Amino acid sequence: MSNTVKTALLLGLMSALFLWIGQLLGGPQGLVIGFLFAVGTNFVSYFFSDKIVLRSYGAQEVGPDHRLYRIVSRLAVRDGLPQPRCYVIPTASPNAFATGRNPQHAAVAATEGILQILNDEELEGVLAHELSHVKHRDILISSVAATFAAAIMLIAQMARFAAIFGGDRERDRGGENPLALIAMAFLAPLAATLIQAAVSRSREYDADAGGAALVGSPTGLVSALKKIEAGSRVVPLDADPASAHLFIMKPMSISGMLSLFSTHPPTADRIERLLHQSRP
């Protein structure tokens, strides 16, 4: 199954989970409320997520005289994309991300740390990866998934309060069993988090492949991923969990069973796929 099809199925599953919670909490009325809440939260995410995340990291816009802008501009022309805005984040931790609702409103941000440790070939591989996200509107897809997950968690929290403080009244009216509500309130956020992470991992693999194809070789990106992982261990990035999925490498390292909750695939797996892609 392709990553694109998998992403569509996962987002459909996330939407169904969201609406099911609305139905469980309030019947047809809850279903409508759930749908309207989903529309509202996605509207905010669609139009304002880029401005919010750039401001939260203190990103400063740079112009044509900057190394970051020049490489992004060259790659954008090669890929037939509009020129994204370019930002530098004032931190020594090496990382980068793209944001924006579509290619016409895209922005690429890189930390001071990544600009210091990567040579031009490596930085080109990273930025090609980010432009692949832009081209395939992965930022929007990831933002929608993250928004649904956050909304599900909020509604689940409401369900816990309803079960704890309104259980007797619900039973008198023939409503849902409060134990069932409590079970849903804990399981639904877990399911939403797993789905969101799976969506993000699928898009990362595709962006790696798309970036390597854009520059004509995976060599630069492979070398960059190794350096970013090593540098991130030395200087961790203090990232907001709500936007951690945007970065080329997850700021917090997760392994073992907890990797199911990670928005990024293991670096070794990404490198192996890139090298496999380059083999005849």
DSSP 9: H
Contact at 8 Å (CB) between 229 and 166?
no
* Residue among 124, 130, 176, 204 flagged as catalytic: 130
176 is catalytic: no
**What are the DSSP calls for 152-178, one per residue?**
HHHHHHHHHHHHHHHHHHHHHTT---H
Among 251, 226, 254, 256, smallest CA distance to 241 is for: 251
| Paired sense of beta strands 60-62 and 107-111, if any | unpaired
Phi, psi of 108 (to 5 degrees): -120, 130
DSSP 89: E
Residues designated catalytic: 130
